Amino acid sequence: MSDSKSDLINHRLQRASEALEDARILAKAARWNTCVNRLYYACFYAVSALLMQQDLSSSKHTGIRSLFNRHYVKTGKVTKEMAQIYNDLFERRQESDYLDFIHFKESQVCPWISKAEVFIKHIASFINSAS
């Protein structure tokens, strides 16, 4: 793997980590909808890093999601249960960012924080094992 490609993968994993930390900060401030946004982006950055290993990319979030599901979930490299975390956060982020009168609650969002953390660690571990 070229240094620039490796640097980009590491950069995206770092962004995933930062977005996850942002989500934790927002949770402490009870900013639940924005927390969901950061949780989704944390997972998105991790998935983008994973796809970069195979030179896969898309300019659209739906494209990234589709590539991830096609190349990693349907092939069994990532379990459906693990992928469900990312796919669910994609849907929740869509709702909170684009629909009116959506107000997530602490009881909904707090479990997603730990699930997103597990997802990101899993993806990072998968990336590191393939390097």
Average pLDDT, the chain: 96
The CATH number that applies at residue 83 is 1.20.120.330
How many domains does the structure of the chain reveal?
1
Q: What is the distance between the alpha carbons of residues 1 and 86, in angstroms, rounded to a whole number?
A: 26
The owner of tokens 């890093």 is 49
Assign residue 99 a region (left: φ > 0; alpha: ψ between -120 and 50; beta: otherwise): beta
Residues contacting 71, CB < 8 A, separation 6+: 51, 54, 56, 77
Which residues form the domain of 84? 3-130
HSE-CB at 83 with a 13 A cutoff on CA atoms is: 18
Looking at residue 70, its pLDDT comes to: 97
Distance CA(26)–CA(81), nearest Å, equals: 26
> pLDDT digits over 38-86, tens only?
999 999 999 999 999 999 999 999 999 999 999 999 999 999 999 999 9
How far is residue 37's CA from residue 97's CA, in Å, rounded to a whole number? 7
What does the pLDDT read at residue 65? 97
Q: Where are the alpha helices (DSSP H) in the chain?
A: 3-28, 32-52, 61-68, 80-98, 106-130
